[in-house]
Every structure is written in structure tokens, then in C-alpha cells.
A and B are shown apart, each in its own frame.
Chain A
Amino acid sequence: MGFLEMLRRSLSLRKVPSFRRFSAETTERKDITERKEWEIKQKEIESKIPIEKRSVSRGLALNRFEKDFLIYPEYSETDDAEKIKDRVRKIDSELRAALLLESMDKAGTLTSSVMATLLKNGIYGTFVPKEFGGENLCHKDLACIHEAIGQDLSTFLNVYNAQLATNLLVFYGSPEHRAKYLPKIASFQCKPAICMHDDLENETLASFTTSVVKGELNGTKVNVINGKNANLFLILAKNKFSHMDKPNHSWYLLDSSELGHGKVDVVDRHETHGLKALNISKLKFSNISLTHSKELCSAESTKEISAEILSSNQIYHGAAVCGFIKKLLVEITEYANRKVVGNHRLGENMTVQKAIAELGMNLFVLESIVYYLAGLLDENLILATDIENSIVARNVHRTLRQALLTIIDTIGILSTEQGFPYEQRIRDVNTYLSLCLPEFVHMKNIAIPTIESWITNTKYQNVMFKPNIVKKLIFGDSRSKDPKLQHYIAEHAHPSLAESCTRLEQTMFRFDGALTNICDMSGKRMVKEPASLWNIATVVENNFAMMACIARANRSYCIGLRNADLEITMANTYCMKANEQSKEICEEIWNNLLLSTRNREIDIGKAMLEAGGYCIEIPIEKNW
């Protein structure tokens, strides 16, 4: 079993800490006992707050509605909004000009003009706390800035790498680490790199070769972004002391100026066909002396940090992908409008219009979710964002896949021709998707915490002890009941969105009943049933996205934003499609035969893997 797979399992099965906020507060790093006490205290506070106020997705899954979540978060002062818009406009235009000057594909790294733009606009200081020389912008501001730099995904991932390291230092680093490195990251004196993946041949957690033995680090790390240029390394290594039986894993901070007699070599550069400026390298660490002071955190927090790296902060990925897709849409629409086919523009072709509409809809949903989450975090309205992060990640996947299809449908053969920007976009999207966690992992991260919360909050009883048959005879099952309105969500929104609000409520009602059935029929086995998990994750995602889209369209129409009527149309269209999909899924969950058949679909994959390919005989084969 690979290390990644182990980590994914651990992510999916354990409860991810609820407080996932990246705010200005810098807490002193607590030792183990203090941190545990703090966690216990937080859990006590948390348990007093109703679930629908702690987490939007969990509340919707439990058929509980909190009307504050229907208000789309915004800047309270117009000046704040204008300030960030001006800043973003400047970054966008300067970065656009810098990207045109020199191709990063040929350079193989971020060009000097792009770096100059990032440094001139203080991008690296935007996520560093103020007391360490940064600006510590709020989530909405950061989302806007990431959208501007996301027009090129290599640039975004380089900046995001530094942001990730900053967050780890803020939450897990000691005061000395923070005071030493955070100002340097803000001023770009420090270029961090995160070294998590061990050599590909030794992927199991237990057989990590990168280890600290008698205070010396040796090993190899692969897939290190910006490894070649980095001077601060965050390394995950095995820590085996002679007096301990079981090896521990810890995260270490390694400054390149404090290597002593050891060295860090760039063994190899991973030549990706897209995102060439990302500089993904294989690093070898030899004889580097590490002391306890270089430990970023204790061994207990190792998995937490790994979870942070793999699956948190997805709103910034979402924002960057929004920026990328918006730029792509400008290019595609310009091409479609300028190309003449017969007596019309290519843009009048129905296929092209449909492809662009699909991409536009996906972008609308992703953008709504990203800024919704960012705003709620800024206003401290939600506490848990683990499920929401995975929802954003799934939407990012979906939007980027749709982008590939739209490019191919619209541009055609030119999309693969060198010299045109489209083939670079395809390569970049392909590489970006391969760097992300697979969608299946995010699906589990959505489904399993939802089920856990649902069972805890509804006080679900073991089906073996429930008098189900009698109950069903007397009350009927909830499938046969028409979804009744309980929360009257439509009263809180504009009348144009009344249908969509009703659909959301109906989905919430049906899902609550469907979860009962799935727990009754599958029990704990459901965590191994891919179709069940997919169904649950899809409905949770649809609910959350519907909420975000309705809130956004409501706000836009009420305050009279430009093209607000189009937003209403898009929100209504999305809600209708999502509602129909959720309705079908709930029907499938109720239909046990269909669900179990769907769950056995992976057997087909297993058969092909065992056979080494497609194992069905050709249609013309004879048996005698």
C-alpha cells in the first residue's frame, strides 16, 4: 500500500480538525498537553453551537437551514472593494504584459519580468501576518489576488507553495521559526519548498528511506515544487532513535545556510509537458545534521500537517482556476467571434455555444463557491471547512476537464498546433490535474464526514434494533412522502429564485431520508462502496453549490449588478440540473438493487486490471 494511499485513508477516516481558519491570529505554539487542552476546550465550545451554524454542508445534509448563510458575504465598505479591485487590475495588467514578453515554457522557470511583477506588487507578503512584515490580507482579498495571478497556473503554484509554507509556520512553527523565516518569506529572501513525497520505489510509510538517524538526515524526495531554487525546505522524514521501537515521522525545517557538512543536491528535474516554469525536482539530502530545534512540530501533528498540505486551502486553487478559465474564455470567444464559417461567425454555431455555455456554467458555480467560502471565513460565520474544501477541489477538477472539452470543440485542430496559446493551455491543465489529488479522494473527504455528522446529530439507531417493519407499515418510508417545505427558504430570497429555493429544500428533505436508507442497508460497509460514496458526495456538493449560487444571484439582482438577470438565469438553470441529479441519486439510494449493482462496477475495473487490459472477446469471436 503506497504512502499516499495510507494518507488518503487516514484523511478519510479520521475527523479532520474543525478549526481550519487562516486568519491574522498567530498563536503561540503550544506543547502537546497545552494543545490537547486547547483542542478539548474548542470541542466543548463547538458542541454548544448547532451543527448548521458550524458547517454549511453538514447543516444542509441534516435538513437544517440557517438563514444567515443565504446572505452572500461582501465587503462592508465600498472603499475596501474598490481598493482591492484597483490592486488586482494593476497586477492583472502587469502580469499579462510580463507573460507576453518571454515564454516561460522556453525559460523553464518563472521569467525575470514575472518575478519583478510579483515582487513589485508585494504578492509574497499578502499572506504573511502583519507582525512579520506582511499584509495578512483577508480571504476575499487573497482570492481576488490569486484570481489575478491564476491567469498562469505556474505562477500561481509557485506563489501558493510559499503560502502553504507560511501557513504551516504560522500554525505549527515555534515563535523562533516564525520570527526567523516569515519576514524572509514576505520579502522573498526565503524561497520555501515542501518535500513530502519519498522516492517512488519506497512509498510505504514504514519503508520511508528519508530518515533522521542519530541526528543526521539522509534520503531522497521527489515532486518537490521549486526545489532547485529553494533555500528553506520543509521535509517529512522518519525519525528513529535507538531507544524507540516504533519509528515516528516528523516535519523538519531545513535552512540551506545551516547545512553544516551536509548537502542538498538536485538529482533530477521532472520534465512535465505543461507548467514548465514549476521546476519540479528530485532532491537528495546527504548527512545533514538535524536537531530537535529544527523540528517543525511534534510527531502527533505530522498527519495534520500532511492533511493541510494535501487538501486544505482549496479556495485559492479555486480562485486561481477561475482566473485561468476567464482568460481562456476571452481567448476562445475572440477566436469564435473572429472566425468566419460560410455566412456566419463560428460563434453562431450551436456546438460552440453549448461548449462555451457549459464552461461558463462551471465557472459560475466555482466562482460562487470560492467567494462564498472566503467571505464566510472572513466573517467567522463557519468553523469547519473540511467538506467545503473538497467540494471546491471537485469543482476545480470538473471545470478544468470541461475547459479541455471546450477548447477542443471550439478551436478544433488548431488547439494542438504549436505557436497558438491553446495547446499550452491544454498541457498546463493536464499537468495541473495530474498534480492534484484524484477526485476519488475528495469524494471520500466529502462523504465520510457527512455521514459521521449525520449519524451523530440524528442519533441514528442500529438498524438491527429498530422496529423498521412496523414503523414502515404505520408511517411509510420517507421516499413515498412528497418533499414538504419546512424552512421556506424562498421567503429569504428574491421571487425570481423561488423555484430554485424550493428545489434546494426538496433535495435536503430527500437526502435526509436517503441517508437513513443507506445506513440501514449498508451500515459501515458504505465506506467501501464507491457508488454510495459518490452519490452522497454529489448530493452534498449540489446542495452547497445551490446555496452559494442562490445567495449570489439574490444579492446581484437585489443590488442591481450588471447582467444580474443572466446570473438569475444561470442560478436557476444550475439549481434545476442539480436538483434533478440529486433526485435521481436519492431514488437510486432507495433502490437497493440498483445501488448494489452500481457498487459492483469496480469489479469490471478489477477484472481488466487482472487481465492486463480489455478482457472481453471481440464480437466476431467464435467458440466452435
Chain B
Amino acid sequence: MHIEAQFRRIPEEDRNKKTFHAAIAVFMSGRNVHQRGYVEFLNTALKYLKKYDVHKDLDTYKALLNVFPKGPLIPTNQMQKIFMHYPLQQNCCVRILDEMEWNNVIPDKEVFDIVVNIFGSWTFATRKVRRQLYWMPKLKYSNKYLDRRLVENKNLDDIELARIALKMMSRDPGTTFSYAKALPKPENDLEATEEAQKAQEMLHSQWIVSAQSPLQRKLIERLPEGSCLYVDGPKFVWVMSHKVKYVVLSADAWPGIKDEFVEKKDVFDFSDVAKTLHTDDLNDDPNVHQQKEMTILGLAVLENNNQNVAAAWVNHLTAKNPRMSELRVLIRIVEDNFVKKLYEDELRAADEDNE
């Protein structure tokens, strides 16, 4: 059977780690004494990693590297060490390691041992894995705001992902996270039975994960009369390879926030020492939520980004911020499938033409 056919023949619903490893096992069992064809096999297998959803699995990469024969590829004399010994094979190994690096899979000592047993100590491929083993662990936690151990290799549902994303974005360590559900009203309150209401709740209840800190609540209390609050979104943020959409509750920029690059502060000017040294500067300075363009008063991730759920979120926040009931709230949400709805008529017309 052609190498590519081994991977292509598996139907899409059956493509997983087990079947991928089975394909590797089939190749290994059918090998002849000369062990040819493994470079072609590996190059083909690399193309199907994402389709089998094993591109982030370390065991799969180890299984691929184990396809290389151990021993014959190790250089035995100086000339072989100077010139790239078995260049095709080394390049193939480096491609596998590149794929691993691109998918952010950190090799361990076993990977290093496998590569050294295949190619020897100081070859092109071994240098690659040494560099990977040195740099990748060092850069693993370069994002200080996210503990990737909470995300990688875990089957997180949307709610857990939402909480992690909000925690990553919230720079106020006092932020509290709450989970709520937006329950739609039945169309006819009087006629809806209890079962009908419950059924509707099951079908249509939308979850909301909200993040707000005590400092933000204080800012809402201090907002002047007639202020307007805005619910903007969805914006998106990446939590490793997961895309999370969130919305922001904000107000206009706080009066008196100065642009620090405009104002000149001469730190060594002591002419006004009595005034400058004794001011309670901490309380006058803006806090982390008072930005130049807006004042951020809350963040949330909604199950579905639409006006109704955003309104439900505002109601949820009003329970802890009674001041919000006195203020105007403007919801500026771009609904999911907004673009699709915008061009719905044109798309329908195009489909009819095709038919």
C-alpha cells in the first residue's frame, strides 16, 4: 500500500492517536531487513499530524523518532563527523523536531536519548534537540500572567477557559470571578407551566463568567451623575491555542488623568519641597483601571455574544453595584454571526442562483 494511503484510508471520525500509532506500527512490522523507506514514511506522517489531532502529543513524536534505525546512522570516523552523515535522515529528524517546536511541545530527556542513539552525540540533529532542551523549558513560562499547566493537555470546557482568560487579563489581584446564568423570560408568563419554563431554561440559559474587583466597584460608586457605561465587545484573547471572546464594561476616562509624557516632572527640583514631599501621592495617583482612554469597570465572557446576554450581565453586576441602576448603560455588542446576518440576503440569492 502507498504510504500516504495508510493515513488517508482512515475515515475522519476514526482519526485519533490510537489509529495514528497503529499506522506507525504497521509500517514498523512490515519493514524489511534493509529498513528502507522510513524517511518517506516520516515525511508523510508529518503531514497528517494535525489531521489526526496528535500534533501536540509528545508520545507521538517519540514514536515517530523511534522509526529511525538505531546505530547505522551514527558517524564512525572524523570525516563522517565533519560532513553531514546521512543528510536526508538528519534533515528529516530536524523537520520532526521543528514540528514539535512549532506546536510548542517540549521535549524531555527521553527524546534526547532517542536522537543520540540514532545519530550520535554532536550531529546536526542532536544539536537541534540540545538547543530545544535548553531553550524551550526556559521560555515555557515567559507569559507571566498564565500558568500553562492549567491549560495544556487538559480538556477544558468553555467556562473553565473563560475563567482562565479573565484571570490572565485581570491585572488587579483583588478581582473576584462569578458565574451566572441568563434566564430568558417565557413568552407568556401567565400561561407557561413550570415544566415549560424549565424546558425553556434548559434550552436557552446562557452562562456568563464575570470578573470585577472591589476597586472597580468603588469607581462605579464614585462615578458622577449622568455618567454613561458602555458594554463593548466581543474582543478576543488567546489562551495558548484557544481563542476566547470577552466583553468590557467601561466608562469615559476619569477626569484629571494626565498624560505622563506631556507633564514634565523634575524629580530633583526641591524648590517646593514642603508641598511635594508631604503629599499623600498614592491616593491621588490613578489606579490600574483608570486608563487614558477609558475607565475599565468589569470584564466578562458570555456564552453567546448578543444584546440579551449582555443585558443579563449588566443585571448581574447591578446586584453588587446598585449605583449602576442610576446610570445609563449602552450595549455596543457585535453579535455572533453578525456579518453572516448582514449579508444573509445576498448569500441566499447566491444559493438560489446556484440551484
Contacts and interface: CB of A to CB of B under 8 A. Distances in A.
Interface of A: 78, 333-334, 337-345, 347-349, 559-564
B82 interface: no
A340 B141 contact: no
A560 B147 contact: no
A67 to B, nearest CB: 22
B187 interface: no
Contact of A343 (B144, B173, B176, B287): B287
Interface stretch (B83-91, B278-286, B298-306): B278-286
A560 B141 contact: yes
B94 interface: no
A347 B285 contact: no
Contact of B173 (A337, A340, A559, A564): A337
A560 B174 CA distance: 28
Given A560-B140, A562-B147, A340 B215 contact: yes
Contacts of A562: 140-141, 147
Interface string B101-112: 000000010000
Q: Is the interface of A mostly helix, strand, loop or mixed?
A: mixed
Nearest to B289: A343
Closest 9 CB pairs of A and B: A560-B137, A342-B283, A337-B174, A560-B138, A562-B141, A337-B173, A338-B174, A340-B218, A340-B214
Contacts of A334: 174
Contact of B215 (A78, A344, A349): A344
Contacts of A338: 174, 176, 213-214
For chain B, the bracket of interface size reads: 20 to 34
A298 B179 CA distance: 66
A339 B141 contact: no
Contacts of B262: none
B26 to A, nearest CB: 30
**A337, A339, A343, A562, most chain B CB atoms within 10 A:** A343
A477 B286 CA distance: 58
A112 B172 CA distance: 39
Contacts of B147: 562
B282 A342 contact: yes
A561 B141 CA distance: 7
Contact of A345 (B137, B138, B172, B286): B172
B286 A343 contact: yes
Contacts of A340: 214-215, 218
Contacts of B108: 78
B267 interface: no
B207 to A, nearest CB: 25
B147 to A, nearest CB: 7
Given A338-B214, A340-B218, A559 B174 contact: no
B139 interface: yes
A336 to B, nearest CB: 8
Contacts of A563: 141, 144
A74 to B, nearest CB: 13
B283 A343 contact: yes
B282 A344 contact: yes
Contacts of A345: 172-174, 214-215, 287
Nearest to B148: A562
26 contacts: A78-B108, A333-B173, A334-B174, A337-B172, A337-B174, A338-B174, A339-B214, A340-B218, A342-B282, A343-B285, A343-B286, A344-B215, A344-B282, A345-B173, A345-B174, A345-B214, A345-B215, A345-B287, A347-B174, A348-B287, A349-B282, A560-B136, A560-B137, A562-B140, A562-B141, A563-B144
A346 to B, nearest CB: 9
A349 B218 CA distance: 18
A559 B106 CA distance: 12
Given A340-B215, A344-B215, A345-B174, A559 B285 contact: no
Given A344-B282, A344-B287, A562-B141, 17 more contacts: A78-B108, A333-B173, A338-B174, A338-B213, A338-B214, A339-B214, A341-B283, A342-B283, A344-B285, A345-B172, A345-B173, A345-B215, A559-B137, A560-B137, A560-B140, A562-B140, A563-B141
Nearest to A337: B174
B283 A560 contact: no
A78 B108 CA distance: 11
A334 B147 CA distance: 19
Interface string B168-182: 000011101000000
B255 to A, nearest CB: 13
A343 B286 CA distance: 7
Nearest to B290: A343
A86 to B, nearest CB: 13
A570 to B, nearest CB: 16
Contacts of B141: 560-564
A571 B211 CA distance: 35
Contacts of A333: 173
A329 to B, nearest CB: 13
Nearest to A347: B173
Contact of A560 (B139, B218, B282, B285): B139
Contacts of A349: 282
Nearest to B174: A337
Nearest to B175: A337
Contacts of A343: 218, 283-287
B233 to A, nearest CB: 26
A345 B219 CA distance: 12
Nearest to B254: A343
Contacts of A341: 283
A550 to B, nearest CB: 19
A338 B218 CA distance: 11
A334 B176 CA distance: 10
Nearest to A339: B214
Interface string B204-233: 000000000111001000000000000000
A533 to B, nearest CB: 43
Contacts of B284: 343
Contacts of B285: 343-344
Contacts of B280: 342
B176 to A, nearest CB: 8
A333 B139 CA distance: 28
Contacts of B144: 563
Contacts of A342: 280, 282-283
A348 B284 CA distance: 13
A578 B2 CA distance: 69
A343 B280 CA distance: 11
B285 to A, nearest CB: 7
A337 B140 CA distance: 28
Nearest to A78: B108
A338 B174 CA distance: 5
Interface string B155-179: 0000000000000000011101000
A342 B290 CA distance: 14
A561 B285 CA distance: 35
A344 B216 CA distance: 10
A125 B147 CA distance: 34
Nearest to A335: B174
B103 to A, nearest CB: 18
A340 B214 CA distance: 7
Nearest to B109: A78
Contacts of B174: 334, 337-338, 345, 347
Given A337-B173, A338-B214, A344 B138 contact: no
B258 to A, nearest CB: 14
B94 to A, nearest CB: 22
A78 B214 CA distance: 41
B279 to A, nearest CB: 13
A120 to B, nearest CB: 27
B59 to A, nearest CB: 14
B172 to A, nearest CB: 7
